[in-house]
Each structure stands twice: as C-alpha cells, then as structure tokens.
Amino acid sequence: MAIGAVSLAVAKTSAILGNNPLYLNIALLKHNQEQPSTLPMPLLMVTLLSCGKSSPGKLNLMKEVICIPHPELTTKQGVEMLMEIQKNIIKIIEMPPPPKAETKKGQDGGKRGQQQITGKMSHLGCLTINCDTIEQPLLLLQGICANLGLELGTNLHLAINCAGHELMDYSKGKYEVMMGTYKSAAEMVDLYVELITKYPSIIALIDPFRKEDSEQWDSIYNALGSRCYIIAGTASKSISKLLEHGNINIPKSNGLIIKHTNQTTMSDLVEITNLADSKKHIIFGSTEGESSDDSLVDLAVGLGVRFIKLGGLSRGERVTKYNRLLTIEEELVQSGTLDTSLSCNARIGGQEQETMTLVKV
C-alpha cells in the first residue's frame, strides 16, 4: 500500500538533487530524459455544484456540475472567472426566500420547481444544493453567467459527473435519476441525448453508466461521441489492470480519469499516459479524502495531461493545489516554456475522429 508514496518520494528527491521542479522531473521521465522545450498547462475542470445522491433535493443525476473555462484563457483568468461565479452562487443561496404569492381558490401560488435553493459546502470543495429537476442547476449557472456578461458554450463549458455507479438501484435494476424516478440503462441513453441536445454547452459526461453496462457505453459513445466527451472515471479499471491488459477502450469512451493512488508508481503514470496519447484525453483527478500535498499538480503538468480535475475552489486541500497550478503557470511564462499550441483544439476519440473545437462557433 506504500508503493505509490515511496515512488513519489523518490521522484521528489530526484527533483531536489537535480535542482528541478517536480513537474520538470516528471516530464523528463515522460520524454526519456530529454527535456521538452515547452510544457502545456492542463485545462481546468472545476466543480461548482453538487446535486448527487447525497444532496438534500430530489435530483440524483449530477454528483458534480463542472465548469471548463474557455481554453484560450490562462489558468489564472479561468480561476478568477470561476471564483466570481461561485461568489454569485453563494449570494443567491444566502438570499432570503421571496414572500409567498397569494393563492386563489386554494391553489398554491408558488411555481413548480421554484423553491428556495439552499446549500452547504461539501468535501468536494463545492456547494451541495437542493434541486428537484435536471434543469435547475443548469438554469442557475446560465442565469449567473448572463448577469456577469458570460455565455455558456462560449466563455465556458460544462461537464457533468453522473456517477452512474451511485445511481443504480439493484433491487429494481434501474438508475434512480431523481428520487422516485427510475430509468433503465437503455432509457438513460435517450435521457443523455436529450440533455446534450437541449444544453449543448455540456461537452463532457463522466461515468454516465456503471462499467457493467458495456452495451450502453457503446450506444452513448456512438450517439454523442462526436458532440461531447464520454469519460470513464470510476467506471474504468485501475491503472495496474489497464496496463496489464493493455486495453484502455473498455468501457468505450474518449476520455479517461487517472489518479495517483497508493498502488500507483510514477512509471505507471508515465506508461498509462503514453498508452493513451493520441487515443484518449487524459484527465488527472484528485482522490477523495486527500491531503494538502500539491504534488499531483506537478504530476499533471509533467505528464502533459489534457485536463486537471481538483474539485471545487474551497477547502484547504484543494485551494493549495489551485495555488500550485497558478505558480507553475507563472514559472513557465517567465521561463518562456509555456506551450499554448493546444489552447484551441482537442482531439476526440481515436485518430479516425475529427478535431472538436471547444469554442462554440
């Protein structure tokens, strides 16, 4: 269980002895000890809302509503924009509830789905809010962005962590997307297609199904793979098993979340990113219940992953990592080694797929 920690300690020691930052030491491992002339910064995936199974509302489907800033923004600009959005979410939650409308003929004057939004900070570093419909959190963000002069689908995009494995009611064999509302695996495909059609600013779905529903992973990839990222997180096998089998295409997806765990060495991380390069987008994610060690940010930059997912912008263990990300960006700018060539386009799926631009035209 200590192999991951030991491997990281060796990498840190090597970086110190070589008088290099850790991210550069990891980049040397990645490139067979040849120092790359430039390094790209991973795109931010920042969790702003949680409306999952543990939230107080009826909605279960959205464990994380994630914002991805425009790829041409710097990391600092992206963080500042998302902090402003978070401040506005908090203002709305702290607003006193509006007075009840007068009723006529015994009818409730309140509108359906317009109940007061309340929330609390979760371990994910974001606000857990009560929502009763799929549209509520999306409309909340849409309204806040409009007030700030931002446009979803242009200035920033959304990703949804569906956490499909948490939605399954095994007694019914169906996904409980909302309290008392159950969908079969086949019906979930239709739900996701409708969601992406209605909200094209959503460009990524994380774990839309359990890993056991391989047929539905194929179906949703075929239906939406050219329109948004279908990403395997918890539904993916462990890094050691992926490397053992040499197959990263089960379940079928065009993105993969990897994490540095106790069982994962630096060599494993290099090998899995080499295996996925040009085949899948790699998202470097943080683990739950983690410490304030910011090393995983260095790992993400050194490995050249496409995205980094650190949770929300609150809680010390997460804020520390965002601060490290900003520091690395400053260092790369000052040294003239920041790679901006990947700021506009992202490769979807395998080499046979066309390049999808993250900027909505």
Q: Is the dihedral of CA 337, 269, 264, 54 positive or negative?
A: positive
Q: Which tokens belong to 152?
A: 């979803």
CA distance 1 to 8: 13
* Tokens 């409306």 sit on residue: 51
CA distance 1 to 308: 24
Catalytic residue from among 262, 274, 323, 345: 262
Q: Which tokens belong to 130?
A: 């009560």
CA distances from 225 to 228, 311, 349 (A): 6, 24, 8
CA neighbours within 13 Å on the CB side: how many for 255?
A: 29
φ, ψ for residue 315 (rounded to 5)? 75, 135
Q: Is 262 a catalytic residue?
A: yes
Here the contacts of 14-20 (C-beta below 8 Å, separation 24 or greater) are none
CA distance 9 to 272: 20
Sheet-wide strand order for 174-178: 168-169, 174-178, 181-183
Contacts of 31 (CB under 8 A, 6+ apart): none
DSSP labels for 29-69?
HHTTTPPPS-EEPPEEEEEEEEESTTSSSSB-SEEEEEEEE
Alpha-helical runs (H) found in 225-345: 239-245, 266-276, 295-303, 316-335
Q: What is the DSSP letter of 152?
A: B
Looking at the annotation, which residues are catalytic? 262
